[in-house]
């Protein structure tokens, strides 16, 4: 465990003391007359002066702008004077009279008050700075020094294991990734066992996986399981506006970790600092480069026996600087895949634990409907379903809640309030049915899961194709089929209404993207014209502007464009052929959709059953 920093005094204690001192001064200077004189009659200063002239007063006391007088009969009077008027001005200086005139000098107390008022903001500032620097230094556990300006200190958080009890059991699925890190945790617990065997445990482990697959969660589980200090930082925390700060934070982080070894350092989202160096043409990324260099130095700097392990997480391993991945650095990669069917069911079960599900709810079915969902998405589905159940005042979460939640998470919430004119609705209906029919008749297309003309998110309608199983390879034909069904909306608009609308822009974008990657990345273009070569386009930024850089000639660029166009047009032709053939069906389904707003998979498939029977 890190050495305990001395117990810090809360800065508010100082503030309280200042306030007390101030109050004391105010009291002694007499501003707060706690005893409060009784039965004092307030009279104008001229009347008081009259009484003085007439020898009716025993005493006169002048304090600030108050004149307090006692008559010979013991009555008390109070008057107010101009602050600048002195006893001469008022005429209380007649030495022939018996009245005792006393001027009480409050400037002593005033002076203290003035000093206090002048100094207080400054004191506050000093205390505030001390407070800040302590916090910055204090979060390092051992943080010695730091001074009032501890910006160079690492902001790493040490996990308090009593509070963060994430365990490996909280990570569902991801079995391979878990196995790998279990080994690491075991090494830190019993280093001797491994060293005796001559085994070397890697210094750096890179967790790689799409966003939401549970990288941060797994790291937290390691922290919960390992019996060693766990220093956690996020890559973005290194990058601040002061040049040199990142590097000094890295140094500080490794220093503290080494002092507490065996220990784990976790750098989340390392791509924020670990991007390839020398990319910024203007040298604008100096800060990041310095930070990265420092990390590399530190990784090389500790020998394997220190029992220090650095774990980093990223969803962009492709942009990481090659130097980071060299042997002896982050040479071991642990991939966290998108969850497959079983893993999805396990994740759903895990997040269903604290919710009451209706009897007969089948989470496996939900898992089968959520191909391509990440762990975070699935958690979101469970949560949305629970919210829906509460909204509908149910006691338990039903399968219907879950289905609705799946739709909401994958397509955004329904937006029934959006105003859509009847003619627009008609276009949307035909557009969506166009997608569905074009997709339905392709050989490799995913089955239609649902068609809807209720707006969701930014989409006016949706045709939802749902893969039935996890797939890891996409064939050429499948990509072409996908383009064909994407054309369906626009082609249907043209066939039915004689013109197209702006509603197809997103479809076209996706079509172009598919065609382009088929040719430029997968080598599926005409082999004589282009061939199986990967063509890369890089964008660099200079002075805030983006520049594109191609690693191929203009002639090749033209050939690529022609091939892309050919692919897109071929798919469109294919789509048109299908829709023309089934035009009456398209119209019929669209009419029904206009009425029902939603068509389920079964309802959609029923149209084809009846058609078959007729034939
Ligand atoms: P990443 O860091 O990979 O982007 P996170 O670790 O932040 O993803 O995951 C976000 C949330 O999703 C987690 O807090 C957790 O609730 C849920 N989650 C993700 N993967 C899993 C999993 N395998 N098991 C259980 N929950 C998961
Ligand atoms: Mg994360
Ligand atoms: Zn569309």
Tell me the per-residue pLDDT of 58-80, one tens digit each, with 9 for 90 and over: 888 887 788 888 888 888 888 88
CA distance linking residue 401 with residue 362, whole number of Å: 12
CA distance linking residue 503 with residue 495, whole number of Å: 15
The phi and psi torsions of 522 (rounded to 5 degrees) equal -105, 0
The verdict on the CB of residue 171 being under 6 Å from ligand 1 is yes
Whether 407 shows a pLDDT value over 70: the answer reads: yes
The verdict on the CB of residue 379 being under 6 Å from ligand 1 is yes
Per CATH, the architecture of 157-336 is what?
3-Layer(aba) Sandwich (3.40)
Q: What tokens does 232 get? A: 């956690």
Q: Do 101 and 62 meet the contact criterion of CB atoms below 8 Å apart? A: yes
Q: Do 407 and 385 meet the contact criterion of CB atoms below 8 Å apart? A: no
- The pick from 167, 176, 217, 381 for probing ligand 1's pocket by mutation, whose C-beta has the most ligand atoms within 8 angstroms, reads 217
Q: What tokens does 107 get? A: 């400037």
Ligand 1 closest atom vs CA 219: 6
CA distance linking residue 564 with residue 562, whole number of Å: 5
- State the pLDDT at residue 277: 62
Confidence bin at 147 (pLDDT 50/70/90): very low
Domain 341-411 has CATH 1.10.3720.10: no
Residues 7-18 have a mean pLDDT of 63
Q: Do 452 and 597 meet the contact criterion of CB atoms below 8 Å apart? A: yes
Fold of 33-106: 3.30.720
- State the pLDDT at residue 320: 81
- State the pLDDT at residue 6: 45
The verdict on the CB of residue 217 being under 6 Å from ligand 1 is yes
The verdict on the CB of residue 212 being under 6 Å from ligand 1 is yes
Question: CB under 8 Å, gap of 24 or more: what pairs does 520-528 form?
Answer: 520/560, 522/476, 524/476, 524/479, 525/560, 525/563, 525/567, 526/563, 526/566
Residue of higher predicted confidence among 606 and 197 = 606
**C-alpha 589, offset from chain centre:** 43
Active-site residue, 144 included: no
Measured CA distances, 551 to 235, 276, 350, 522, 559 (Å): 31, 18, 48, 16, 14
Confidence bin at 29 (pLDDT 50/70/90): low
Domain boundaries along the sequence of the chain = 33-106, 157-336, 341-411, 422-614
**Distance of CA 218 from the midpoint of ligand 2 (Å):** 9
Residues 96-123 have a mean pLDDT of 74
- State the pLDDT at residue 13: 67
Whether 279 shows a pLDDT value over 80: the answer reads: no
Residues 469-492 have a mean pLDDT of 91
Q: What is the pLDDT of residues 583-594, one digit of tens each?
A: 999 999 999 999
Q: Do 2 and 260 meet the contact criterion of CB atoms below 8 Å apart? A: yes
Q: For a pLDDT cut of 70, what percent of the chain falls above it?
A: 81
Confidence bin at 28 (pLDDT 50/70/90): low
The phi and psi torsions of 104 (rounded to 5 degrees) equal -90, 120
Domain 422-614 has CATH 1.10.760.10: no
- The pick from 222, 376, 382 for probing ligand 1's pocket by mutation, whose C-beta has the most ligand atoms within 8 angstroms, reads 376
In angstroms, what is the C-alpha Rg of the chain? 39
Ranges of beta strands (E only) in 473-597 are 537-542, 545-550
Q: What is the pLDDT of residues 172-191, one digit of tens each?
A: 988 888 888 888 888 877 87
To which H or E segment does residue 575 belong? helix 554-581
Cis peptide bond upstream of 262, omega within 30: yes
Whether 536 shows a pLDDT value over 80: the answer reads: no
**Distance of CA 409 from the midpoint of ligand 1 (Å):** 15
Residues 430-437 have a mean pLDDT of 96
Q: Do 150 and 248 meet the contact criterion of CB atoms below 8 Å apart? A: no
**Average predicted confidence (pLDDT) for the chain:** 81
**Distance of CA 237 from the midpoint of ligand 2 (Å):** 14
Residues 421-436 have a mean pLDDT of 94
Ligand 3 (single-atom ion) residues, CB below 5 Å: 489, 507
The one catalytic residue in 384, 432, 446, 563 is 432
- The closest ligand to the CA of 350 turns out to be 1
Whether 428 shows a pLDDT value over 90: the answer reads: yes
Q: What tokens does 410 get? A: 């994958």
Confidence bin at 140 (pLDDT 50/70/90): very low
Q: For a pLDDT cut of 90, what percent of the chain falls above it?
A: 29
- The pick from 379, 382, 386, 409 for probing ligand 1's pocket by mutation, whose C-beta has the most ligand atoms within 8 angstroms, reads 379
Ligand 1 closest atom vs CA 171: 24
Measured CA distances, 349 to 190, 293, 404, 570 (Å): 33, 43, 18, 45
Residue of higher predicted confidence among 103 and 514 = 514
Measured CA distances, 305 to 128, 191, 331 (Å): 42, 9, 17
Q: Is it true that 157-336 and 422-614 share their CATH fold?
A: no
The verdict on the CB of residue 312 being under 6 Å from ligand 1 is no
- State the pLDDT at residue 470: 75
Contacts of 315 (CB under 8 A, 6+ apart): 208, 209, 210, 211, 215, 271
Residues 377-395 have a mean pLDDT of 94
Whether 404 shows a pLDDT value over 50: the answer reads: yes
Orientation of helix 422-440 relative to helix 583-596, angle to 10°:
130
Highest mean pLDDT among 98-102, 113-117, 458-462: 458-462
**Distance of CA 418 from the midpoint of ligand 3 (Å):** 18
Confidence bin at 23 (pLDDT 50/70/90): low
- State the pLDDT at residue 349: 94
Whether 379 shows a pLDDT value over 80: the answer reads: yes
Q: Do 1 and 160 meet the contact criterion of CB atoms below 8 Å apart? A: no
Residues 218-232 have a mean pLDDT of 83
Confidence bin at 566 (pLDDT 50/70/90): very high
The verdict on the CB of residue 213 being under 6 Å from ligand 1 is yes
- State the pLDDT at residue 2: 43
Burial of 89 from C-beta contacts in 10 A (0-12 / 13-18 / 19+): exposed
Q: How many other CB atoms sit within 10 Å of the CB of residue 554?
A: 8
Q: Identify the residue whose C-alpha is closest to ligand 1 atom 15.
A: 376
The verdict on the CB of residue 174 being under 6 Å from ligand 1 is yes
Whether 524 shows a pLDDT value over 80: the answer reads: yes
């Amino acid at each position: 465990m890190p050495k305990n920093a001395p117990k810090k005094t809360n800065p508010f204690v100082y503030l309280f003391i200042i306030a007390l001192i101030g109050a004391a001064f105010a009291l002694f200077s007499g501003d707060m007359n706690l005893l409060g004189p009784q039965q004092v009659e307030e009279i104008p200063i001229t009347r008081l002066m009259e009484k003085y002239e007439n020898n009716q007063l025993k005493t006169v006391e002048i304090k600030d702008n108050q004149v307090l007088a006692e008559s010979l009969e013991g009555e008390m009077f109070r008057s107010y004077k101009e602050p600048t008027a002195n006893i001469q001005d008022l005429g209380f200086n007649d030495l022939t009279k018996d009245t005792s005139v006393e001027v009480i000098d409050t400037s002593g107390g005033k002076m203290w008050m003035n000093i206090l008022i002048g100094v207080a903001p400054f004191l506050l500032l000093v205390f505030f700075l001390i407070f800040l620097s302590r916090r910055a230094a204090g979060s390092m556990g051992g943080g010695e020094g730091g001074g009032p300006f501890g910006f160079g200190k690492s902001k790493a958080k040490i996990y308090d294991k009593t509070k963060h009890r994430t365990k490996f059991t909280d990570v569902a699925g991801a079995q391979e990734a878990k196995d790998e890190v279990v080994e690491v945790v075991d090494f830190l617990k019993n280093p001797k066992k491994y060293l005796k065997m001559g085994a070397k445990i890697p210094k750096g482990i890179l967790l790689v996986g799409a966003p939401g697959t549970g990288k941060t969660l797994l790291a937290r589980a390691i922290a919960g399981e390992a019996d060693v200090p766990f220093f956690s930082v996020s890559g973005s925390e290194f990058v601040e506006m002061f040049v040199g700060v990142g590097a000094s934070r890295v140094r500080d982080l490794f220093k503290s970790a080494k002092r507490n070894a065996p220990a784990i350092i976790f750098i989340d989202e390392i791509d924020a600092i670990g991007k390839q160096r020398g990319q910024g043409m203007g040298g604008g990324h100096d800060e990041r480069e310095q930070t990265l260099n420092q990390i590399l130095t530190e990784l090389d700097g500790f020998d394997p026996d220190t029992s220090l392990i650095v774990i980093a997480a990223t969803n962009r391993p492709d942009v990481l600087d090659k130097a980071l991945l060299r042997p002896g650095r982050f040479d071991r990669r642990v991939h966290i895949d998108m969850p497959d069917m079983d893993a999805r069911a396990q994740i759903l079960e895990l997040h269903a634990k604290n919710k009451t599900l209706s009897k007969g709810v089948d989470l496996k079915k939900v898992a089968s409907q959520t191909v391509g969902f990440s762990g975070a998405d699935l958690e979101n589905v469970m949560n949305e379903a629970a919210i829906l159940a509460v909204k509908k005042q149910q006691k338990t979460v039903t399968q219907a809640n879950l289905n609705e939640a799946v739709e909401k998470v994958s397509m955004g919430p329904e937006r029934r309030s959006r105003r859509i004119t009847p003619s627009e609705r008609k276009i949307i209906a035909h557009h969506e049915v166009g997608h569905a029919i074009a997709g339905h008749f392709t050989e490799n297309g995913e089955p239609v899961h649902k068609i809807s003309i209720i707006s969701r998110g930014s989409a006016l309608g949706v045709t939802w194709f749902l893969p039935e199983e996890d797939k890891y390879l996409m064939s050429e034909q499948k990509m072409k089929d996908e383009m064909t069904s994407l054309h369906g909306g626009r082609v249907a608009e043209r066939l039915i209404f004689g013109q197209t609308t702006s509603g197809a822009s997103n479809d076209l974008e996706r079509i172009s993207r598919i065609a382009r990657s088929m040719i430029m990345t997968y080598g599926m273009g005409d082999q004589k014209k282009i061939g199986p070569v990967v063509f890369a386009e890089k964008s660099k930024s200079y002075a805030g502007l983006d520049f594109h850089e191609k690693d191929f000639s203009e002639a090749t660029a033209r050939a690529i464009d022609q091939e892309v166009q050919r692919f897109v047009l071929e798919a469109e032709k294919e789509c048109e052929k299908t829709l023309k053939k089934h035009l009456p069906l398209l119209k019929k389904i669209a009419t029904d959709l206009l009425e029902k707003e939603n068509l389920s998979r079964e309802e959609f498939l029923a149209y084809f059953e009846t058609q078959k029977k007729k034939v």
